[in-house]
Every structure is written in C-alpha cells, then in structure tokens.
Structure 1
Amino acid sequence: MRTDRHFTGLERRIDEAAHRFLAGLPRHRVADSLVEFLVFGLKQAWACLFGGAMLGLIILTRWLWPEGGAGFIARYDFLFLAALFIQLAMLVFRLEAWEEARVILIFHVVGTAMEVFKTHAGSWIYPEENLFRIGGVPLFSGFMYAAVGSYMARINRIFDIRLNRYPPLWATIVLAGAIYINFFSHHFMWDVRWVLFAATFALYRHTTMHYRVFRFRHKMPLLVAFLLTSLFIWIAENIGTWSRAWIYPNQHDAWVPVSPGKLGSWYLLMIISVVLVTLVHRPRPYIAQEEPRDVAGDAGETA
C-alpha cells in the first residue's frame, strides 16, 4: 500500500522515485528479500534523521572541541543552538511534519523535567560548564529525549504502523504514568520496576505491530519492538557517555560501558514513548481486507 498521505512533500517525491526504480527490479524470493532489507534500512535511517544528526554532532565535538571551550561558546551551548537549528530546518524544509513537532515538544518537556531531578539526585552529571542550562542540566539534553520522540513519530508514519489488539488507551496512560513516577520515586522508596515489567507484559503481550516496508507488510510482537529499540538507544547512550556529553558516577575517572541494566530503564521509557505518540497518532488496527494492492502488485504480509 502506498502511504503517500502520511508523507511530507519531500518524502513523497523520494517515495515516488524509489517505487519507479525498485518496481522495475526482477521478482523472485531473493530479490524481494534484498529489496525489503535495503528499504527497511533506508527508512530506519530516515526515521533517525534528527537523532543521528545530534549523535554525529556529539561525536564531532568530542574530537574537535578545544579543551575548556572554543573561547566564545561552550560545547553544550553549541549543541543546544545546533539542535534548535536542525529542528527548525527540518520543519522549514518539510523533513518533518508539524504533528511530529508536537510530539517532540512533549518529549522535550518530559525529558528535561526528569533530567533536572536525576542530576540533582546524582544519577548522572554533565561535567562541562555552559550558559543555557536549568540547574545542572544543559538545555541540549532535552533534545536527546526529543530525538527519541522524533524517531517514534516518524516510524509510525513512514512505516504506516498498525497495531492489532492494542490495550485500552486509558490503561496504557495509567501504566506510563506509573513508570514515569517510579523514575522519581525509587530514590525515596521501593523500586517497583519488576512490577512494571510484569504489568507491561500483561498489557501488551497480545499486541502485534504490522508495518509496511516496500512490497510487503511484516509483523512482530510489540514487546519485541520495544526491546530492539531499547537496545539501539543503549548503544547510542554508550556513544554519548564515551564522548562525555554526560557521564555516570562510575565513568568519572575513565570511560566504561554503560551497565546492561540500563536496558530495563530504556525498555520502560519505550512504554512512555509509545503512549505519548498515541496521544497524537491514535493506534490503528491492521485489516487485511482494507489493504489495496500496491504498484508492485503485492499486498502480502510476512511474519
């Protein structure tokens, strides 16, 4: 199915050119699999556009930024201003939809509030000085959460994601609220993350995500999608701490990999992320009978 109605103007032109090229390729199982794999990677890269740009800047400034700053601007302030520029450019050049900008703003506010609390509690620190900050939190940090929001909103659109057997929206909001509260409350009382993991499994165990790559729709359990996304964010966090954009207490003297235990935190954050996105893009079920045939002549689905 062509999902033009979900694309920005530039994306629609890219999609049309890609269909003209890819639809002319030979049709057999190996070729179809290679095309699906290639397009999947390209779409994922496109969905990561904002986050990838931010991560690239963090790496570059780690290598190139002078010790003690560039004289007229601190590294963190440069990252903040660069993030603002990238965000505005993506909107002006229609690389991002205005609906996604609303999601990103929500992520920015939610993430910054947690950052202020967590840095005050000593969970992690930002070791460099800068001007644009709230307490111990440079304002660029909110854009790292916004990058997650950008990715979640963009994949929903460009993969035309449908969710079958999705839980009641009110139940997901309650769970997301409990997860967010636990990020704060576990500093003062019991950490109930294992209860939250169990609640997550109970709520989403039957939910299946259906997504279109190019010729076919594919599906996977939504819980597996949460885990895979959490893994990639954990890898990005290792890059971020290696660059000393922020560090954990055990990384103060020398960098060590981020504990695999943080995967659980990112997994729970995925629940919050999905719920926030569903407040803007309400979950839609996949109904095979409503799936029109695409330009390649297939409306199939693979597991």
Structure 2
Amino acid sequence: MKQLWTFGVEQAKSCLFAVVIFSTLAITQMIELTNRYDWILLVCIITQVIMLITKLETLDELKVICVFHVIGLALEIYKVHMGSWSYPEEAWSKVFGVPLYSGFMYASVASYLCQAWRRMDVKLAHWPPTWSVAILSAAIYFNFFTHHFIYDFRWVLKAATVLLFIRTIVYYKVNEKIYQMPVVLSFLLIGFFIWIAENIATFFGAWQYPNQSDTWQLVHFSKISSWLLLVIVSFLIVAMLKHIKGRNRESLT
C-alpha cells in the first residue's frame, strides 16, 4: 500500500499541468466570462512560468512542451477545418477557428511524460533503432491528416507499433524499488486515461464534437484508438529526445 500510495502521489505531481488546465476549464464553465478561451490561455502561460521559476519543470522539459504545443496546434487547425470538432465560443486568441490554448492540452501530455520520466527515473530496455522510431512517429502523425483522403492506416500502424516494441520494457522506480512493464501496455493505459480526461474536457466545453452540439454525450470509445496513437507519438518523441541526450552525454564523458 505504501508503494501504491507513493506511485499515485508521483503520478499526481506529474499531472500538475493537466490538472491546472482541467480545473481552469471547470471554473470558467461555472462562472460567466467573456472570451473564456483567452482566460484559459493566460492561465496556461502563467502556470508554465511558475513551474519553470519554481523548478517544478526544467528548461529542457519546457522546450519539449513548446514543440508539442506547435505539433498539437497544427493538428487542431486541420481537424477543425475538416469539421472533426469545433470551438464554438468567441476569443481574441483564435487562429483559423482554433484557440491557442488548445495546443497546451497536447503539451500537457508531454509535460506528464517528461515529469513522470524524471520523477520515476524511467529507463527503457531493448529500444529499437532510432531511425525506425522516427519513421513510425511520422507515419502515425501524418495519418491523422491523410486519413480524410486516403485509407486510414491506424490499425496497420498499431500492428507495426506492437511488432517494433514487442521486446521493449519500461523500468521505473518507486521508493528505490524498480518495477517493469511492457511499453505497449503503458501506451494503452495512458491512452485510456486520456480518453477519460477527454470526456471531462468536453463536458466542461474545452471543445465540441458534432454529436455534442445540442447536449453533452460520452465521447465514443473509438476515440481511445486515436488517443492511443497520439500517446505513442508523444512517448516516442520524448523517448527519442531522452535517448539522444543520454547518448550525447555519454560521448562527452
């Protein structure tokens, strides 16, 4: 029970940025604010500054978060343009119909991964060649764009992920005791919990799917599949950066 409690506490600390975003969504939904999306963006920026100043977040982690903000915002602009979902409220900080705070929701996934990686001293065994990981990450990301016009390769990409990472193990530390988990299982678990978070986010009006325009409905289970792919991309990018940085550090020594 002590190990489980410590694990839960460390996970909660790692989710701090995501918790701030969801709390802001809830509070701004309950009180009437004009340009609510702009206020959410301001809170996200202030939170990032505070986390950096208080060293809850490192400068390298902030750089990763900025990369994910750009990647997420590009995907959001495209998906909104294609009618996959919408942001119906008015805001000054909208770009092509997408509020800038939306990129921080993707960045919160990166923030969690970076924080958990550092706090739990994550190590990976049997990591595939970096070039193959880079190709898979790019293929998954671009499939979010191309499936509107050509065949949706998501199941092919999932199968490729399993084959590529079938031997990869995640090692993490809780109170100096080391545990292990297949990396594919960690993808599935994180994707499932993000789907739960997505239901909370849409309930508080973070964005809106077409079937939620009249009244809120549970996000379809098929979205777990999409989040699973996004988690894979996020994890692979963070892992590649950690792997490259670690290799560079070894070469310097």
TM-score normalised by the chain length of structure 1: 0.79
Which amino acid is 1:131 matched to?
W
Within the candidate set 62, 77, 82, 2:29 is matched to 62
Q: Pairwise CA RMSD of aligned residues?
A: 1.3
Q: Percent identity?
A: 43
1:259: which partner in 2? 220
Instruction: Tell me how far 1:244 sits from its aligned partner.
Output: 1.3
Contact kept in structure 2, 1:58 and 1:240, CA below 8 Å: yes
Q: Which has the higher helix share?
A: 2
Partner of 1:48: 15
4+ residue segments displaced more than 4 Å? none
1:11-26 equivalences under 5 Å are none
Structure 2 matches for 1:61-210, cutoff 5 A?
Answer: 61-64=28-31, 66=32, 69-70=33-34, 74-210=35-171
Q: Give the Cα separation in 1 of the matches to 2:205 and 2:43.
A: 18
Q: What are the equivalent positions in structure 2 for 1:3-18 lying under 5 Å apart?
A: none
Deviations 1:263-300 (A, max 9, x none): 11111111110121123211899xxxxxxxxxxxxxxx
| CA gap 1:227/1:283 in 2 versus in 1, 3 angstroms | farther
TM-score (norm. length: structure 2): 0.95
How many angstroms apart in 2 are the aligned matches of 1:284 and 1:42? 27
What SS does the corresponding residue of 1:211 show, helix, strand or coil?
strand
Equivalent in the alignment of 1:231: 192
For 1:240 and 1:190, the matched residues in 2 are separated by 29
Larger radius of gyration: 1
Quote how far apart the aligned CAs of 1:148 are.
0.5
The structural deviation recorded for 1:61 is 1.1
Unaligned runs of 5+ residues in structure 2 are: 247-253
Task: Determine which structure has greater relative contact order: mean sequence separation of CA pairs < 8 Å that are 6+ residues apart, divided by chain length.
Answer: 1
How many residues of Structure 1 are paired with residues of Structure 2 in the alignment?
246
SS of the equivalent of 2:239 reads: helix
What secondary structure sits across from 2:181 in the alignment?
strand
Of the structure 1 ranges 149-158 and 276-285, higher mean CA displacement relative to structure 2 is found in 276-285
2:237 and 2:67 map into 1 onto residues whose CA distance is 8
SS of residue matched to 2:243: coil
Counterparts in 2 of 1:187 and 1:272: CA distance versus 1, 3 Å: same
1:215 is displaced (CA, Å) by 3.5
Give the whole-Å Cα distance in 2 for the aligned partners of 1:141 and 1:186: 22
Which residue of 212, 215, 240 maps to 2:173? 212
